[in-house]
């Protein structure tokens, strides 16, 4: 696999998320309207304790959150004052979950921009494991001012 375009340190500089809710490990491709991120799913993820103890499966909402974080990385990367902004999930449409995501899987999340206005972005994407689609969705994100106390 090629060197990441953004490693975890660069992602942490862009996204405000932190453990246990930072759900993207690296970005391997990125252009103005397209991004591909990787999430390594490990058995020590906190959600596996209860979902499900005898058959650990990554919750679908967290797969969608991973997709949103990859999308948010693309949106925030292009904004000069990104430390003063947040990308908030506004809607999830046409979400489909095709196969369970299990410990040891590597999610490849590909997101493509469909529409972009000043403060709203619509992106369509899919998550795959070993080339097989496990989830897909259309996400609408809203760019908002970050509360002053939280700005870096």
Q: How many CB atoms lie within 10 A of CB 28?
A: 18
> To which residue do tokens 């975890």 refer?
8
Q: How many CB atoms lie within 10 A of CB 112?
A: 15
Active site residue 51: yes
Which of the following is catalytic: 17, 34, 51, 83? 51
- Residues marked active site are found at 51
């Amino acid at each position: 696999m090629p060197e990441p375009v953004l490693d975890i340190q660069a992602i942490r500089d862009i996204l405000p998320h932190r453990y246990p809710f930072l759900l993207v490990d690296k970005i391997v491709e990125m252009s103005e309207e397209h991004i591909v991120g990787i999430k390594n799913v490990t058995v020590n993820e906190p959600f596996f304790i209860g979902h499900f103890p005898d058959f650990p499966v990554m919750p679908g909402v967290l797969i969608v959150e991973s997709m949103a974080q990859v999308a948010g990385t693309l949106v925030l990367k292009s904004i000069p004052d990104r430390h003063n902004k947040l990308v908030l999930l506004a809607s999830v449409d046409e979400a489909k979950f095709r196969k369970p995501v299990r410990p040891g899987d590597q999610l490849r999340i590909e997101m493509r921009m469909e529409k972009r206005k000043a403060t709203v972005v619509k992106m369509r994407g899919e998550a795959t494991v070993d080339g097989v689609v496990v989830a897909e969705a259309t996400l609408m994100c809203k760019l908002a001012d970050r509360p002053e106390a939280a700005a870096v």
